Amino acid sequence: MSRATPHATPVVAAPHAHAGNSISRTMGLVILALLPATALGLGQFGWPAILLFTLTIGATLATEAMCLRIAGKPLTVNLLDGSALVTGWLLAMSLPPAAPWWIGVLGAVIAIVLGKQVFGGTGQNLFNPAMVARVALLIAFPLEMTTWVTPEPLWSAGARDLQQGLAVTFAGQIPDGMTGATALGQVRTEVGRGVGLDEALAGYSPAAGAMGTISGSLGETSALLLLAGGLMLIWLRVITWHIPAAMLATLALLATVMHWVDPGRYPDAVFHLVSGATLLGAFFIATDLVTSPVSKAGQLIFGAGCGLLVFAIRTWAGYPEGVAFAVLLMNACTPVIDHYVRPRVFGRTRRGDPLEYPEAKP
Amino acid sequence: MRLFGIRGGVYPHDRKSLAANAPVAVLALPPLLHIPLQQHIGNPAAPAVRRGQLVAKGELIAHSQGAVSAPVHASTSGRIMGIGSFPAHHPSGLSAPTITLRPDGEDRWHQDIEGVPDPFALEADEIAARVAAAGIVGLGGATFPSAVKLNLRRKYKLHTLVINAAECEPYLTCDDRLMREQAPEVVDGIRIIAHALGVSRVLIGIEANKPEALAAMGEAARPFAEIQVVRLPTRYPMGSEKHLVQALTGQETPARGLTADIGVVVHNGATAFAVHEAIRLGRPLVSRVITVSGGAIARPANLRVPFGTPIQWIIDHCGGFKVEPARLVSGGPMMGQPLPSTRVPTIKGANGILALTAEETRTREPGPCIRCASCVFACPCGLLPLEMANHTRAGNLEGAVKLGLMDCVGCGSCSYVCPAHIPLVRYFNYAKGEMAARGRAKQKQTETKRLAEQRSARIEAIQIAKREAMAARRKAAAATKAPLAAEGPSEHRAEPPSKPRSEARDRAGGDV
């Protein structure tokens, strides 16, 4: 076949090779890393959680598809890149497991429409879409967003069946005995009333907090499983260590210092690290590629800012949990950080002038 | 030896095993050679032969033109069939001035060709002159006339010669094979270059994926204390001149500057071999080793190819295509140029011919940027490719320049790692070309303005001079006439009345 007429191939500029990675691979790995913590959450909160989770992700994908159709963009390519799936997944993981169905659906619409598509779609949004939805829901529906059920694993004897799960999710019938405060909520209200920390946290075990067999958001409870997933993402080079390390170190440092100042008022670093959305936030939300800075130094600043804000909001502001607020506030800083914090260009000083070697001139 | 870190870079699959074990073979002569007059950076060479003339191998067929240029020699003996245009070894596929030679099959060297028994007795200028006359250019692909670089010693305080034998582009094995098979000759060329530059230290950088070449070069360089063969980590773009110098010496070349600014000159290993041939044997550069490889090539090979050989001839020699190639590339896959057709001839700068399959190029439709910063981490120059691409796409080229567009070496690492398959480096090459065009237009404008201003200044000066001359003449005339007027007041002249007189009259009128 070769000796025929001289060959002609398409003239396309270099490079003529590619690492083979893609957006859908990146998103797929994020989902994979989220799987263990998700499985635990769905298992221990049972049918209501499974229903809410499915519904939220379904609504997210449906909303994305609708927006793409309105924008006239090709459906399959954009849906298959997995970014909407990750958004819906993270949103579902951050919701209270027994929240009513419309919380999930409304959250999905807010995340996709207001959080992402109004900016122009994938890669264009300034704020993390899942956190935009979570904060909007928290402010608009504080009751539904702070009704926490205690774990009731699918495999336990008295677990609710599908029918009871449907009643919780679609009819809002949550049995009174099933609700309770999260550890962070407990500290917030009790210490706010002047009760000592020891008393407020009576019966709290950091080990249970780390394992995740406590009440809390659907997928946020297990610090250890989230840590494992996050480390996997770093190992697979989907994210770098800078944001999580800076965020967790700043939070731990502040908690340690304040705990040392007044152990009766301020919980220690371990409590902060294993409670609430700390680890989900550090490894999966603050590291959202689109909304975080692109330089390593910028990522350290961003992470440290997140840690600082999480601690400040948890300790002194009106909300018991501050990860979503902290990430959104730092998202707003990302363009500024990217503008001022840039890598040094080869052959130039930090200020951008060419390096000088006066001794080399004869 | 202690190596220094370089920033960024990528680790592409090197695919060198395709051709690495094929010894350098000599290619049979094609029926016609199409030898372009421009095979280097700088001015094209000017033809020195006539149609129908018989030439010997190595005979000058085109003179170099100006300070940055290189002559062209006959790749074999034969008859000049014509001096005209032929499709160039260039993506455009446009024709360029080319001399067509029909080999006579004897492959007879020119009788005047004679080497120098002891190059180290030669003056540096003499070596540079001989290298220039041999038409040697940088064979790593840049094709900058090598003699110009040898003359850098006049303007810079040089201390180190770095030999770039990293061969960091995937697929390419031509330098590897040359070093394995002819290490003593390469080292001899290196020593001649070092002698000409007057440097006391030579570092030969070879990537770790070429253990045989490392061993052969180490063996050949053992007798010479000033030469050190350095094993480099396998990372693209280790062979980027300034990054190689940084990895070996720890010194960073200033932006927009030359490695000579920090006392280092870089030459390619294949160039050193060409210098050896030119000085020791007197042979000008008429052929080079190229790698023919890629998934679509039936029998990948390393071949010594006379310049002007049509690429189709080379591919046929390698058994043709076993599958339909998706891309035909001159050079490596990271920075190589696409070739529009297999009709084009080989030139001095082409170190590889790759026929790549679709699986190898992994081309995809570009998607949206997700700001993952892979490109930022991959960039060896510390740039922000995603931001530069955004500015370029928006037409804000000045913004891209501010972000360091002109410091981009075009290595393609950013495009290689982009998960959205955005052709980042293409944006930058476009922007650089556009900025260069704008620069030329602006220079033309300022030059036109300067000339126009000069012209009007000149015209004004002429007019002033004319006026002054007229006034002077008038004055002179007045001076010669004044005595005449005094002699005869009755004489009536058509001269304007002198001022005092008219003023007196006006005043008188006013009084009335």
- Long-range pairs for A214-217: beta carbons < 8 A, 24 or more residues apart: A214/A151, A214/A182, A214/A183, A215/A148, A215/A149, A215/A150, A215/A151, A215/A180, A215/A181, A215/A182, A216/A148, A216/A182, A216/A183, A216/A276, A217/A41, A217/A93, A217/A94, A217/A95, A217/A96, A217/A97, A217/A277
ipTM: 0.89
Q: To the nearest whole angstrom, how far is the Cα of A359 from the nearest Cα of chain B? A: 8
pLDDT at A176: 66
pLDDT of residue B15: 93
Structural domain contains residue B89? yes
List of chain B residues whose C-beta atoms are within 8 Å of the C-beta of residue A292: 371
A81: which chain B residues are within 8 Å (Cβ-Cβ)? 367
Taking each helix axis as running N to C, give the angle between helix A101-109 and helix A129-140, from 0 to 180 degrees, rounded to the nearest 10. 130
On whether both B255 and B212 belong to a single domain, the answer is: yes
Q: Is residue B81 part of a domain?
A: yes
Burial of B155 (0-12, 13-18, 19+ CB in 10 A): exposed
Identify the DSSP state of A286.
Answer: T
Give the bridge partners for B55, in sequence order: B78
The verdict on a CB contact (< 8 Å) between B254 and A18 is no
Nearest to B415 among A15, A23, A360 (CB): A15
Distance, in Å, from the CA atom of B403 to the CA atom of A293, rounded to the nearest integer, reads 16
Which is higher by pLDDT, B508 or A151? A151
Which pTM was predicted?
A: 0.87
CB within 8 Å of A203: residues ≥ 6 apart: none
- Closest Cβ–Cβ partner in A1, A9, A289 for B320: A1
The single residue listed with the structure tokens 């260039």 is: B90
Instruction: Kindly report the length of chain A.
Output: 362
For B255, the closest of A1, A343, A354 (CB atoms) is A354
C-alpha B71 chain-centroid distance = 15
Determine contact, residues B14/B333, Cβ cutoff 8 Å.
no
The strand pair at B160-165 and B264-268 is best described as parallel
**3-state secondary structure at position B160:** strand
- Tell me the mean pLDDT in the region A206-210: 80
Q: Say which of A16, A121, A345 has its CB closest to residue B255.
A: A345
Q: Sign of the C-alpha dihedral, residues A292, A297, A303, A305?
A: negative
Q: Determine the 3-state secondary structure of B245 from DSSP.
A: helix
What SS3 string covers B305-325? EECCCEHHHHHHHCCCECCCC
Rounded Cα–Cα distance for residues A101 and A188 (Å)? 28
Give the per-residue pLDDT at B487.
54
Kindly state whether residue B458 falls inside one of the protein's structural domains.
yes
Residues of A with Cβ-Cβ distance to B379 under 8 angstroms: 343
Let me know if residue B234 belongs to a domain: yes
- The pLDDT, as a whole number, for residue A3 is 44
Q: Do residues B172 and B128 share a domain?
A: yes
Shared domain for B286 and B173, answered yes or no, is yes
Burial class (CB in 10 A: 0-12, 13-18, 19+), B474: exposed
From the candidates A1, A3, A18, which should be mutated to test the interface with B, based on the most B CB atoms within 10 A? A18
Model confidence over A306-352: pLDDT tens digits? 999 999 999 988 888 889 999 999 999 999 999 999 999 999 998 88
CB contact at 8 A, B300 and B110 = no
Name the residue facing B326 among A9, A121, A289 (closest C-beta). A9
Judge if B403 and B311 occupy the same domain.
Answer: no
Q: Are residues B295 and B432 in the same domain?
A: no
> Bridge-partner residues for B99, per DSSP?
B35, B83
Which of A295, A348, A357 is the closest to B376 by Cβ? Answer: A295
Residue A359: pLDDT band with limits 50, 70, 90: low
Q: What is the number of CB-based contacts under 8 A between chain A and chain B?
A: 214
Q: Which residue has the tokens 């890669």?
A: A123
Strand, coil or helix: A8 = coil
Other residues' Cβ atoms within 10 Å of the Cβ of residue B204: 28
d(CA A178, CA A168) in angstroms, rounded, equals 11
Q: Which residues of B touch A26 (CB under 8 A)?
A: 370, 372, 419
In angstroms, the separation between the Cα of residue B384 and the nearest Cα of chain A is 8
Token digits for B285? 């550069």
- Percent residues over pLDDT 70 in chain A: 96
Record: contact A7-B334, CB cut-off 8 A: no
| Rg, chain A, Cα only | 23
B331 near B139, Cβ under 8 Å? no
Of A16, A124, A295, the CB nearest to B356: A16
Q: Give the chain B residue whose CA is nearest to the CA of A294.
A: B373
Contact B367 A122 (CB under 8 A): yes
CB contacts, 8 Å: A338 with chain B:
384, 387
Give B142→chain A minimum CA distance, Å. Answer: 16
State the nearest Cα–Cα gap between A17 and chain B, in angstroms. 4
Alpha-carbon gap, residue B157 to B74, rounded angstroms: 37
> Angle at CA B312, nearest 5°, toward B91 and B59?
85
Residue-level pLDDT at B506: 46
Residue B78 has phi, psi (to 5 degrees) of: 165, -160
Whether B457 is in a domain gets the answer yes
Would the pLDDT of A192 be above 90?
no
Specify the pLDDT at position A179.
74
Among candidates A11, A122, A354 on the partner chain, residue whose Cβ is nearest the Cβ of B370: A122
- H or E stretch at B127: helix B124-133
Do B384 and B286 belong together in one domain? no
Q: What is the pLDDT of residue B511?
A: 41
CATH of the domain at B441: 1.10.1060
Residues B136 and B50 in one domain: yes
B387 burial via Cβ count (<10 Å: 0-12, 13-18, 19+): buried
CB atoms within 10 A of CB A327: 32
Domain boundary among the residues B283, B309, B330 is at B330
- Contact criterion met (CB < 8 Å) for B10 and A345: no
| CATH number of the domain that residue B69 is part of | 3.40.50.11540
Paired with B162 in beta bridges are B203, B266
- Tell me the angle at which helices A23-71 and A101-109 cross, rounded to the nearest 10 degrees: 90
- In this structure, the strands spanning B287-293 and B264-268 are unpaired
Q: Which of A81, A342, A345 sits opposite B407 (nearest CB)?
A: A345
Question: 3-state DSSP helix/strand/coil percent for chain A, to nearest 5?
Answer: 60, 0, 40
CB contacts of B298 in chain A (<8 Å) are 2
Could you tell me if B227 and B311 lie in one domain?
A: yes
Interchain proximity B335–A14, CB inside 8 Å: yes
The secondary structure element, H or E, covering residue B174 is helix B174-197
Closest CA to B268 of B226, B205, B325: B205
Q: What averages of pLDDT result for each successive group of 10 residues across chain B (512 residues)? A: 88 92 93 94 93 95 92 96 93 91 94 90 94 94 91 91 95 96 96 95 95 96 95 93 94 92 94 96 95 95 96 95 92 92 93 93 90 94 95 93 93 94 93 92 94 94 93 88 58 49 44 39
- Tell me the H-state helices in A212-295: 223-235, 242-261, 269-274, 278-280
* pLDDT at residue A6 in the model: 55
| Nearest-angstrom CA–CA distance, B49 and A335 | 63
d(CA B301, CA B309): 16
Contacts of B441-448 with CB under 8 Å at 24 or more apart are none
A282 neighbors A330 (Cβ within 8 angstroms): no
SS (H, E, C) B424-476: HHHHHHHHHHHHHHHHHHHHHHHHHHHHHHHHHHHHHHHHHHHHHHHHHHHHH
B483 falls within a domain: no
d(CA B465, CA B473): 12
Same domain, B317 and B383: no
Query: B167 with B300, same domain?
Result: yes
Residue A217 main-chain phi, psi, to 5 deg? -65, 160
- A contacts of B353 (beta carbons < 8 Å): none
Determine the pLDDT at residue A361. 56
Task: Mark residue A21 as left, alpha or beta (left: phi above 0; alpha: psi -120 to 50; beta: remaining).
Answer: beta
Q: For chain B, first and last CA: distance in Å?
A: 110
- Chain B residues with beta carbon closer than 8 angstroms to that of A342: 382, 384
Residue B24: predicted pLDDT: 95
Question: Pick from B262, B342, B343: which is nearest to A360 by CB?
Answer: B262
The verdict on B387 and B454 lying in the same domain is yes
According to the model, what pLDDT value does residue A194 have? 76
A227-277: pLDDT as tens digits: 999 999 999 999 999 999 999 999 999 999 999 998 888 899 999 999 889
| Residues in chain B closer than 8 A to A290 (CB atoms) | 370-371
Question: Which residue in the set A23, A338, A347 is minimally distant from B242, CB to CB?
Answer: A347
Asked if A18 and B419 come within 8 Å (Cβ–Cβ), the reply is no
Q: Chain A neighbours among B 168-197 (CB < 8 Å)?
A: 170
B369 and B438 together in one domain: yes
pLDDT band for position A201 (50/70/90)? confident
As for how many domains chain B has, the answer is 2
Residues in contact with B21: Cβ distance below 8 Å, sequence separation at least 6, in sequence order? none
B265 belongs to a structural domain: yes
Residue of chain A whose alpha carbon sits nearest to that of B159: A360
Query: Using the beta-carbon criterion (under 8 Å), do A357 and B256 form an inter-chain contact?
Result: no
Q: What is the dihedral of CA A66, A70, A72, A77, to 10 degrees?
A: -20
Scored b (16 or more CB within 10 A) or e, B116-127 reads beebeebeeeeb
Is B369 in CB contact (< 8 Å) with chain A? yes
Chain A residues touching residue B263 (CB < 8 angstroms): 360
Residue of A nearest to B356 (CA): A16
The answer on pLDDT for A125 being more than 90 is yes
Residue B355 lies in a domain: no
Whether residues B416 and A18 touch (CB distance < 8 A) is answered with yes
**Spatial CA neighbour of A311 closest among A353, A261, A361, A248:** A248
CA distances from B458 to B443, B450, B453 (A): 22, 12, 8
Q: For residue B202, what are the domain limits? A: 16-103+120-330
Q: Looking at the complex, does the CB of residue B337 fall below 8 Å from at least one CB of chain A?
A: yes
- Which residues 222-251 on chain B approach chain A with CB closer than 8 angstroms? 242-243, 251
Phi (first) and psi of residue B406, to 5 degrees: -75, -10
Judge: B363–A343 Cβ closer than 8 Å, yes or no.
Answer: no
Whether chain A has a CB inside 8 Å of the CB on B10: the answer is: yes
For residue B504, what pLDDT is reported? 44
- Are B254 and A347 an interchain contact pair (Cβ–Cβ within 8 Å)? yes
